[in-house]
Structures are given as structure tokens and as C-alpha cells.
């Protein structure tokens, strides 16, 4: 009788653990490594959790990524993540969340202040704000008022220091409005303004 009770209890505990595994996080994120130095980029991969492992997503192209601190780790819509800051600390951590339909999951990344740093330089025509601290590793904030157009150029740091501002050179841009969502389609919900 004791064996039956012990086996029954073990079965209930194992089932509970497996159910919690799927209830808490239905997606499993992975990366080649989860410790990034400033300027390094990794590609995230996401799979659906099953009772005893993982399986590929039916529609991986529908996966959306969100970072909890875009000033520390920039995530692009295809799941590439670049370390950009540690808030002045030698090491910091951040999470990147993934959503695919009703499925969700996250991956924790460690960020280190040392590293190759940025490979591009922004040249912006706006006044610098040197006394304002910044979370990113290698930038000084600029002062821009609402509605003010700002011109900028992107220059490659390594020789031959070419201008790569245009998208036709292969440059991709992501905008963040404080939501952690790259190119957020509804920024007015984040920054508090109405439509438009």
C-alpha cells in the first residue's frame, strides 16, 4: 500500500512540475551565449515547450520580441539582440521576452561593460547635453524639442569610415518609445499622447 501511495504522490508531483513548466512559460528562448559585451550581437531562437522537451513553432515569423531595457539591450524585430549599456555598472542583467500568439517566454542576458563597443558613429545636428547621464555605453544625449527635425549621419568607425546612413547601404533602423518593442506601432499609448 505504501508503494502505491508513494508512486501516486511521485506521479502527482511530476505532473505538477510539468504543468508548471508549461503554464509559467510556453516558449523557450535560446542563444549561442547569454553573456554579451558592449557592441556584441546575438541571434535569439525560440521554440515551443512541450511536456518533455521542445518543438519548432508553427509560425516563427509571427514571433514578437520585447526588451525590458532598450537602453541596455536593443532587440530587433527578427530576434537579434545587441548590448548597448549597463547603466554605468561593470555588469548588469536584462530580459528579452518573446510572444507568439498566446505563447510567451523570456531569456535572461548578462551584459558586461567591456567589449568592442559600437561599430557606427552618429553625427547629429542638435545640441549635446553633457550633464545628463546616459544608460548606453557610448553616447551623449542630444536636446530635441517636439516637432523639431534632426539631421544625422551614420559613419562606420573602422576604415574606410564610410557614410552608411542610407538604408540602401544595408543599415536598418529601430525606434523605441519606452515600451521595449522595436518600431512600436502604438507609441502614443507609451508616451502619453493622443493619436497622430
d(CA 81, CA 44): 7
Which grid cell is 132?
Answer: 545628463
Flag whether pLDDT at 196 surpasses 50: no
Question: pLDDT value at position 176?
Answer: 79
Q: Cell numbers 551565449 label which residue?
A: 33
| Burial (Cβ within 10 Å: 0-12, 13-18, ≥19) of residue 149 | exposed
Residue 128 pLDDT: 85
pLDDT at position 194, please? Answer: 47
Kindly state the percentage of the chain with pLDDT values over 70: 82
Q: Look-up: residue for cell 527635425?
A: 149
Residue-wise pLDDT for 75-118, tens only, equals: 999 999 999 888 888 999 999 999 999 899 999 999 999 988 88
**Are residues 45 and 63 in contact, defined by beta-carbon separation less than 8 angstroms?**
no
In this predicted structure, what is the pLDDT of residue 16? 60
Q: In what order do the strands lie in the sheet containing 53-55?
A: 27-30, 45-50, 53-55
74 touches 138 (CB < 8 A):
no
In DSSP terms, 123 is beta-bridged to: 153
pLDDT band at 11, cuts 50/70/90?
Answer: low
* Structure confidence at residue 115 (pLDDT): 87
d(CA 156, CA 72): 21
Do residues 60 and 79 make contact, with C-beta atoms less than 8 angstroms apart? Answer: no
**In this predicted model, what pLDDT tens digit does every residue of 30-71 receive, in sequence order?**
999 999 999 999 999 999 988 778 889 999 999 999 998 888
Query: What pLDDT score does 135 carry?
Result: 63
Provide the pLDDT for residue 133: 67
The C-alpha atoms of residue 94 and residue 101 are separated, in whole angstroms, by 23
**Cβ contact 16:27 at 8 Å:** no
Q: With beta carbons less than 8 A apart as the criterion, state whether 64 and 181 touch.
A: yes
Instruction: Give the CA-trace dihedral at 147, 168, 128, 80, to 10 degrees.
Output: 100
Cβ atoms of residues 95 and 109 within 8 Å: yes
pLDDT at 195: 47
Residue 173 predicted with pLDDT over 50: yes
pLDDT one-digit tens code per residue, 159-172: 888 999 999 988 88
Amino acid at each position: 500500500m505504501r508503494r502505491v501511495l508513494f508512486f501516486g504522490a511521485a506521479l502527482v508531483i511530476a505532473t505538477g512540475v510539468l504543468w508548471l513548466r508549461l503554464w509559467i512559460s510556453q516558449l523557450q528562448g535560446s542563444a549561442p551565449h547569454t553573456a554579451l559585451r558592449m557592441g556584441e550581437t546575438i541571434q535569439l531562437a525560440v521554440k515551443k515547450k512541450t511536456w518533455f522537451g521542445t518543438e519548432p513553432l508553427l509560425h516563427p515569423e509571427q514571433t514578437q520580441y520585447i526588451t525590458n531595457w532598450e537602453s541596455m539591450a536593443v532587440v530587433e524585430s527578427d530576434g537579434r539582440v545587441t548590448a548597448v549599456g549597463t547603466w554605468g555598472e561593470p555588469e548588469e542583467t536584462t530580459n528579452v521576452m518573446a510572444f507568439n500568439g498566446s505563447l510567451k517566454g523570456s531569456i535572461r542576458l548578462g551584459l558586461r561593460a567591456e567589449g568592442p563597443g559600437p561599430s557606427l558613429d552618429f553625427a547629429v545636428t542638435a545640441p549635446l547635453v553633457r550633464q545628463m547621464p546616459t544608460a548606453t555605453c557610448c553616447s551623449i544625449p542630444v536636446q530635441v524639442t517636439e516637432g523639431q527635425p534632426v539631421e544625422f549621419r551614420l559613419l562606420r568607425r573602422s576604415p574606410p569610415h564610410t557614410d552608411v546612413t542610407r538604408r540602401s547601404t544595408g543599415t536598418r533602423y529601430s525606434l523605441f518609445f519606452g515600451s521595449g518593442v522595436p518600431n512600436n506601432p502604438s507609441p502614443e499609448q507609451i508616451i502619453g499622447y493622443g493619436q497622430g
